Amino acid sequence: MHFQLSEEHLMIQKAARDFAQNQCLPGVIERDEKQIFPREQITQLAELGFMGMMVDPKYGGAGMDTISYVLAMEEISKVDASVSVCMSVNNSLVCWGLETYGTEEQKQQYLVPLAQGKKDGELYIGAFLLSEPEAGSDATSQSTTAEDKGDYYLLNGTKNWITNGSSASVYLVIAQTDVAKGSHGINAFIVEKNTPGITVGAKENKMGIRGSDTHSISFTDVKVPKANRIGEDGFGFKFAMKTLAGGRIGIASQALGIASGAYELALAYSKQRKAFGKEIMHHQAIQFKLADMATKVEAARLLCLKSAWEKDNHMDYTISGSMAKVYASEAAMWIATEAVQVHGGYGYVKEYHVERLMRDAKITQIYEGTSEIQRVVISRSILK
């Protein structure tokens, strides 16, 4: 066992860090305040190969490993979690799901442009539509229906809190075909956003990740060709669970980035701010906060990298991914809150970035499975 990153990993980490500092940092406060989707940044990320990082180059991807993905997610999330959630959903929920379970035709038609992040010179990204107004944690209680009509399915229902809701060109939609079969009656479909019958609701006015584009999406008699179903009939719930297992590594890495970003800001501030005749880093109250922050960041990073390593080595990463997500997201919330405290009054105003990181941290405890759901997954595995 060794804990050193390879030369290639260090290069990817540096590329992501430079991108975050040079392309994401300018304007991040304004994008947050005005809820501006970071289209330019996502387009540049696609040019870097970061929208399909782990996809095989034969399908337009960058062919990198999951460790690289964690490193890039951390660096970008330190600066702008609205950019990184878009990147995470496209990489781990949409591209991974299609590459792993799609047919060759589906991959050629959809995965190739999604992994490149563009089609005909335009931004081309995906969204993952599982949550509903009455089905969040209880994901098997799907009300969206997909009626089998022979050579097509007819979709009806509403999905909520969809990341990339209006900017995505392709939706992966989970819907109930046969309610009598419970989770085995659920299917997953590739649905093009411009299909007649789809309505994109108003953008949600959120506490954090305000640049990310979150909408409800409604389906009224939307015709989806049978060729767009992913996997065998009834595979949809397993598809969602398998896909989310990897997605949780992405969100854990996002939380890690928010945590390490907040820690680094608190550390830098403590070296310049003076109180009672000395820099505040010389006060034990601050030193102990910094020590706890550094320890939690390191623990979160190790959990993320371990889970990524398991995924790269074709091991089961479901539990380690849930552990990484619950730990990193709770660490992010705690560290960002303490970083505001270290900054005192300055921490409460926008220019110092930590209040945004604190607001952004909260969502990492909620989406892609709440902290409570991660504990369900972990406890089931240790108690079976």
Residues that bind ligand CAA (CB under 6 A): 89, 128, 130-131, 137, 139-140, 163, 183, 237-238, 241-242, 244-245, 318, 367-369, 373, 376-377
Contacting residues for 10 by C-beta, under 8 A, at least 6 apart: none
Nearer to ligand CAA, 139 or 361 (CB): 139
Residue among 191, 188, 194, 168 at smallest CA distance from 176: 188
From the CB of 163, what's the least distance to ligand CAA, in Å? 3
Residue type, 93: L
Nearer to ligand CAA, 80 or 338 (CB): 80
- CA dihedral 56→15→334→354, nearest 10 degrees, is -140
From the CB of 182, what's the least distance to ligand CAA, in Å? 8
Distance CA 125, CA 169 (A): 6
**Helix or strand (DSSP H, E) at 216:** strand 214-225
Nearer to ligand CAA, 170 or 280 (CB): 170
Distance CA 237, CA 187 (A): 7
Greatest alpha-carbon span in the chain: 78
From the CB of 102, what's the least distance to ligand CAA, in Å? 17
- Which ranges of the chain does DSSP label H, i.e. alpha helix? 7-19, 28-34, 39-48, 66-79, 81-88, 96-101, 104-106, 112-116, 236-272, 284-312, 318-343, 354-364, 371-383
Distance CA 136, CA 174 (A): 12
Distance CA 211, CA 5 (A): 32
From the CB of 249, what's the least distance to ligand CAA, in Å? 13
From the CB of 92, what's the least distance to ligand CAA, in Å? 10
Contacting residues for 337 by C-beta, under 8 A, at least 6 apart: 358, 361
Distance CA 315, CA 246 (A): 12
Nearer to ligand CAA, 87 or 339 (CB): 87
Active site residue 330: no
Residue 103 contacts residue 110 (beta carbons within 8 Å): no
Q: Parallel, antiparallel, or unpaired for β 152-163 and 126-129?
A: unpaired
CB atoms within 10 A of CB 161: 20
From the CB of 135, what's the least distance to ligand CAA, in Å? 9
From the CB of 83, what's the least distance to ligand CAA, in Å? 13
**Helix or strand (DSSP H, E) at 186:** strand 186-192
Q: Which of 75, 99, 355, 368 is catalytic?
A: 368
**221-230 burial by CB neighbour count: b if 16+ within 10 A, else e?**
ebebeeebbb
Q: Which residue has the tokens 């878009």?
A: 86
Distance CA 229, CA 238 (A): 13
From the CB of 194, what's the least distance to ligand CAA, in Å? 20
- Residues serving a catalytic function are 368
